[in-house]
Amino acid sequence: MKKVMFVSCMLLISGGLLAQSGGGKKDAANKKQQMKQMIDEQFKFAVEQYKVLAKNTPANVMPKTYYAKNNKSETSDTKWWCSGFYPGSLLYIYEYTKDAATLKEAEARLGILEKEKHYTGNHDLGFMMFCSFGNAYRITKNPAYKTTIDTSAASLSTRYRPAAKLIQSWNSSSRWKGPVIIDNMMNLELLNWVSANGGDKKYAAISKSHADKTILNHFRPDYSSYHVVDYDMKTGEVVKKATWQGAADSSAWSRGQGWALYGYTMMYRFTKDKRYLNQAKNIAKFILNNPNMPADMVPYWDFDAPGIPNADRDASAASLMASALLELGQYTKKAERNTYVTAAEKMLTSLSTDAYRAKLGENGGFLLMHSTGALPLKSEVDVPLTYADYYYLEAMLRYKNWYL
């Protein structure tokens, strides 16, 4: 996808959003109007595009990705870690547009997902059940959805290992003894929310324990994160620090940096513990000041990927980072806030161009192109992914609600 390398130049010379320097109230007003128009257009597109995705996805499974080379859509069962993102995206689209057919499709998909509230096979209940049922309850206030969320938190808590003070991500195997991945920070939102909304306070305590141990062992001095830290769960001692989806054990896998940024920003939301806010700020500094961040702010799949600037991009990392930066902007002021919000604007603007956003009826019905799932495994490389769409929609809603 070499064409992406020219996006930043195109945006800058077009007189568009990124060329606005913020010089006064008029420029600020223009920027807001442009962002509002862009967000309106993207949600109108999303309503129609997701009807294509729904048509391409049998009723008993979830969409996973699409391969343009052979015009093939790939689906997953509801135990796949991404199973909550499609109903979650539908709910975001409904929230913005009030399209009744979109809500009906979301409710149907929630119906097949609901049984996974008892799943304990890995740490992904937050992705699966909070991105879906969490949004469903927030928007509709259906009490049955809250019951599902509460049960899901209880299921996730069974993966907490008290001796290590961590939630174990994956089961032990010949490769890993007690693996914890940085992605796990995202699942803490489910636990925190349930404790804050009438549930057992132990879930918040588990969340805090996991976040604290992750700060201790997952981060390098420059605040980049390892992907996997393998533990002896009986002692809490680190066995090794490695990667599964990154370019190397020592590299900064881009989406992993996004999970970390989002996770610690979210932890500050629930706890107001300044340590978590400072952690998020330092992670943001690593991301935004990285010399390998492209000008259009859509990261390469790994900040240390071989072949830069010809390496694959990861639109899902940009979507995720944009959403996290917008929330981080809520907890900061003036120049600092402006840094985060401006970066998120650039990411969203780039993602909304033809270089990344699909045309109606194409891309299997997904919104965004050019994400990278797990390049070392040769899995989902340069394809659409459900979580890229989800965080893209979330980021635009956050921008509308907080900055317009």
pLDDT of residue 324: 99
Residues flagged as binding site for substrate: 124, 183, 243, 255, 259
Other beta carbons less than 10 A from residue 346's beta carbon: 20
- What amino acid occupies position 121? G
pLDDT tens, position by position, 187-227: 999 999 999 999 999 999 999 999 999 999 999 999 999 99
Q: How many whole angstroms separate alpha carbon 378 and alpha carbon 158?
A: 32
Q: Running DSSP on this structure, what letter comes out for residue 312?
A: P
Catalytic-role residue among 150, 183, 296, 314? 183
Q: Answer yes or no: are the C-beta atoms of 112 and 103 closer than 8 Å.
A: no
Instruction: Evaluate if residue 20 carries a pLDDT over 80.
Output: no
Catalytic-residue membership of 124: yes
Instruction: Evaluate if residue 247 carries a pLDDT over 50.
Output: yes
pLDDT tens, position by position, 167-187: 999 999 999 999 999 999 999
Q: Answer yes or no: are the C-beta atoms of 183 and 169 closer than 8 Å.
A: yes
Q: How many whole angstroms separate alpha carbon 355 and alpha carbon 42?
A: 14
Interval 37-56 mean pLDDT = 98
Catalytic-residue membership of 183: yes
Catalytic-role residue among 40, 77, 99, 124? 124
Would you place residue 24 in the very low, low, confident or very high pLDDT band (cuts 50, 70, 90)? confident
pLDDT of residue 28: 86
Fold for 32-403, please state it: Glycosyltransferase (1.50.10)
Instruction: Tally helices (H) and strands (E) across the chain.
Output: 14, 9
Instruction: Evaluate if residue 12 carries a pLDDT over 90.
Output: no
Residues flagged as binding site: 124, 183, 243, 255, 259
The domains of the chain are located at: 32-403
3-state helix, strand, coil split of the chain in percent (to 5) is 60, 10, 30
Q: How many whole angstroms separate alpha carbon 172 and alpha carbon 228?
A: 13
Q: Running DSSP on this structure, what letter comes out for residue 226?
A: -
Instruction: Evaluate if residue 16 carries a pLDDT over 90.
Output: no
Would you place residue 368 in the very low, low, confident or very high pLDDT band (cuts 50, 70, 90)? very high
Interval 147-173 mean pLDDT = 98
pLDDT of residue 25: 86
Instruction: Evaluate if residue 11 carries a pLDDT over 90.
Output: no
Interval 306-330 mean pLDDT = 98
Would you place residue 307 in the very low, low, confident or very high pLDDT band (cuts 50, 70, 90)? very high
